[in-house]
Amino acid sequence: MKWLHKDLLDVSQLSRSEVMAIFETAGRFQELQERPVKKVPTLKGRSVILFFAEPSTRTKTSFDVAGKRLSADTFSLSKSSSSLTKGESLKDTALTLQAMAPDAIVIRHWCSGAARFLADRLDCSVINAGDGRHAHPTQALLDSFTLHQEWGDLAGKTVLILGDIAHSRVARSNVILLNKLGAKVRLCGPRTLLPPAVRTWPVEVYSDLNEAVRNVDAVMCLRLQLERQKDGLLPDLREYARTYGLGQKHVDLANQDVKIMHPGPMNRGVEISSDLADAAGSLVLDQVSSGVVIRMALLFLYMTRKGEE
Amino acid sequence: MAKADLIVRRAKMDGKDVDVFVSRGKIVEVKKSVRSLDPGDAIVEEAFGLTLMASMTDVHVHLREPGYEYKEDVESGLRAAAWGGFSNIMCMANTKPVNDCDSVTELMLEKARKYWPKGPRLFPIGALTKGLSGKELAPMAELARAGCAAFSNDGVPVKSSKIFRLAVEYASDWDRVVIDHCEDPYLGVAAGVNEGEVSSRLGLPAQPDIAEALQVGRDILLAEYLDLPIHLAHISCKKSVDLIRFAKQRGVKITAETTPHYLTMTEDILEAEGTQYDTNAKVNPPLRTEADRLCMIEALNDGTIDCLATDHAPHALHEKETEFDVAPCGITGLDTALSVTWQLVRDGVLTREAFTRAWTTAPTAIFKLPVNTFKPGDPADFFLFDEDEQWTVSATTLYSKGKNTPLLGSTLKGRVKTHFIAGKKIV
């Protein structure tokens, strides 16, 4: 498939067939993971700047590994090491980076819309690695890819997304992508952590986890930002864990062989019980592996989009 | 009848060609144009069929001087007002330093006299509380004596209902109306986007319409309790309109304004392709829903909303060319207000009567400012307007220093060609 998009800002830009093309490409890269030498020269001479204005270990490392396995040169820039801390605007930082002629910039930023802001101003590909509460397309793609690997077709499956939906870019992108792939989506969390207009989303909304989890095929737990309690959105973490923390008793209500997912990093004992995180049905580490191959696929497709492979 | 020293010939008014006779800055007579006329010593201005309109009044403008002259200054703001069709503008107190002492008021007025001695007329609005802190009353007597026409904490709503009550009472001693920026200070302050479907999809922290309506409710109860007037600034939503309508039915001394952008734009602009996350559409209160927009038009037509104001809020390009969360709220408005709202009249959405009331007679009545209704003795404040001239909103066609409007690149119809204030041609 000839890749036509310049940027990846959210999964809403992608057609179902484009998602399948990403999965297919990622699937081919999976074989590479098992080789003794996990590197191919595909993107040799290309450069990717990893611009993470917000802390990240997992996503940044995943992109770094993905780039290096394709022989791209990856350069990291964090907020603390960038001029943003000196008051430089995002626009000037972006233009400075552009002047270094990268082929792609992977950006994570605390403001919704920041990836689009860069994409509108830069010639190179911009890949959104999470912008504010808005979107996290690569996480959604790797989550669906992980389920695709387990189930094949996602159509007809029911996925519950559990926790702090209001502040979650992971949830927003997953709702869009899971619907696009034919899955039914349920959301569950306290009202204070649900978006104001969630009833207009293509989802079923629950406040009782025991009801929400009934007959689902997968549960995606979301990380709870512990400062939400300070914001007054929760009485305390203990109550949250008792009411919305996923435990074995909930899994027993779900469909047999239910898959447990978490984008990490996990607060064990808060949004998910520790046992469950390590249980047989847990796909948490599969998600990490999928993350590398999905990001390899994306770097490959976006950086060779002009047929310059 | 006084001898005319200015005659404007063949202007179009209500579909007829008229001649306007002016003497010593006042209207003498407006009558059907005649083929030939002996002007005597009068200056003759040939209108060539341009539309004659009474100058407008804008009771809500941010001129930014002193302190933020890079965004706007008195000179550039008055230039935009002159070309925008405004003879009277009231400027808010959130300057740096805040307009909470007579020296700041006097500085503004001195600048206006220096750069625009013939108008537009500037009426500063004094701070309601010192430094807009919401804690201590500003010296309103001093500010009124220096020339402040009203008082407001616009931009920084007063949290304490007690302080706000005292401010309304104290201002009344000086026969000044208090203008309130209606916003519950704890419900999504200055988020710049409406809480609802769009904000939930875009993942933006947002302000619900009840943040405005709660404060409107408070002000209505206070105004009724004190039997004193309160003017509600930049009303944006149906919930507020419902409360204001209820208050007016009870005879409460509440007046209200809305802005051209709440009549013509909605939150959807922030999600549309090409304008997604457009910081030029970030404004406080935020652009609301289509139902709110339609309600604002209805409320203006039926008089529930008394007047229009631009809430002209110029910002520098670099301040708006940034992440949405970081960008300041505000839309520049003096240049575009007339074209935008006249288009609503042209489209049959806004009545001609509501247009005239909202831009001229209502704001001047509320704040006791000069008004031209073309009756003999009225101030000769009017402009000639080319209804058909098309212009594209751009950095070069806006007279304000602020270029921050979602209308950038749009083509509007209608421009001021000549403007007279007190019978003197200012542009």
**How is B310-370 classified by DSSP, letter by letter?**
--B----HHHHSS-TTTSPP-B--TTTHHHHHHHHHHTTSS-HHHHHIIIIIHHHHHHT--
Q: Does A87 contact chain B (CB < 8 Å)?
A: no
The amino acid that residue B304 corresponds to is T
Residue B272: its chain A contacts at CB < 8 A? none
Closest chain B C-alpha to A134 CA, distance in angstroms: 4
| B379 CB burial (10 A radius; 0-12, 13-18, 19+) | buried
Instruction: Report pTM.
Output: 0.94
Closest chain B C-alpha to A199 CA, distance in angstroms: 9
A113/B323 CB distance under 8 A: yes
Q: What is the pLDDT of residue B185?
A: 87
B325/A111 CB distance under 8 A: yes
Q: How far apart are CA A251 and CA A253, in angstroms?
A: 5
Nearest CB to B324: which of A89, A113, A198? A113
Q: What is the pLDDT of residue B188?
A: 77
Residue B202: its chain A contacts at CB < 8 A? 112-113, 134
A195/B326 CB distance under 8 A: no
Closest CA to A287 of A70, A182, A139: A139
β-strands B411-421, B424-425 pairing: antiparallel
Closest chain A C-alpha to B277 CA, distance in angstroms: 6
Q: What is the pLDDT of residue A170?
A: 97
A263 touches A170 (CB < 8 A)? yes
Q: Does A133 contact chain B (CB < 8 Å)?
A: yes
Mean pLDDT by runs of 10 across the 309 residues of chain A is 93 97 96 91 96 92 97 86 74 89 96 96 96 98 98 97 97 98 98 95 97 98 88 91 96 96 93 92 96 98 77
Q: How far apart are CA B217 and CA B221, in angstroms?
A: 6
| A208 CB burial (10 A radius; 0-12, 13-18, 19+) | exposed
Q: What is the pLDDT of residue A84?
A: 67
Closest chain A C-alpha to B199 CA, distance in angstroms: 8
C-alpha distances out from residue A278 to A48, A282, B81, B268, Å: 34, 6, 68, 44
Q: Does A170 contact chain B (CB < 8 Å)?
A: no
A112/B202 CB distance under 8 A: yes
Q: What is the pLDDT of residue A283?
A: 97
B123 touches B95 (CB < 8 A)? no
Residue B204: its chain A contacts at CB < 8 A? 112-113, 132-134
Residue B203: its chain A contacts at CB < 8 A? 112, 131-135, 169, 172
Q: What is the pLDDT of residue A226?
A: 84
Nearest CB to A196: which of B195, B277, B321? B195
A89/B322 CB distance under 8 A: yes
Closest chain A C-alpha to B324 CA, distance in angstroms: 7
Nearest CB to A113: which of B196, B200, B277? B277
Buried b (16+ CB within 10 A) or exposed e, A68-87: bbbebebbebbbeebebeee
Closest chain B C-alpha to A142 CA, distance in angstroms: 21
Residue B196: its chain A contacts at CB < 8 A? 196-197
Q: Best interface-test mutation with A: which of B199, B209, B277, B280 has the largest number of A CBs within 10 A?
A: B277
Q: What is the pLDDT of residue A309?
A: 44
B203/A169 CB distance under 8 A: yes
Q: How far apart are the first and last CA of chain B?
A: 28
Inter-chain Cβ pairs, chain A and chain B, closer than 8 A: 63
Q: What is the pLDDT of residue A79?
A: 67
A205 touches A166 (CB < 8 A)? no
Say whether B397 sits in a helix, a strand or coil.
coil
Q: Does B318 contact chain A (CB < 8 Å)?
A: yes
Q: What is the largest CA-CA distance in chain B?
A: 68
A196/B208 CB distance under 8 A: yes
Which residue reads 């006791």 in tokens? Answer: B368
Q: What is the pLDDT of residue A83?
A: 65
Identify whether B311 is a catalytic site residue. yes
Nearest-Cα residue of chain A relative to residue B195: A196
A113/B276 CB distance under 8 A: yes
> What are B381's two structure tokens?
């404040």
Catalytic residue among B180, B311, B335, B381: B311
Collect the ranges in chain B with pLDDT lower than 70. 1
A16-33 vs A137-151: helix crossing angle, rounded to 10: 70
Say whether B417 sits in a helix, a strand or coil.
strand
A112/B277 CB distance under 8 A: yes
Q: Best interface-test mutation with A: which of B193, B200, B207, B279 has the largest number of A CBs within 10 A?
A: B200
A54 touches A108 (CB < 8 A)? yes
Positive or negative: CA dihedral A59, A61, A62, A66:
positive
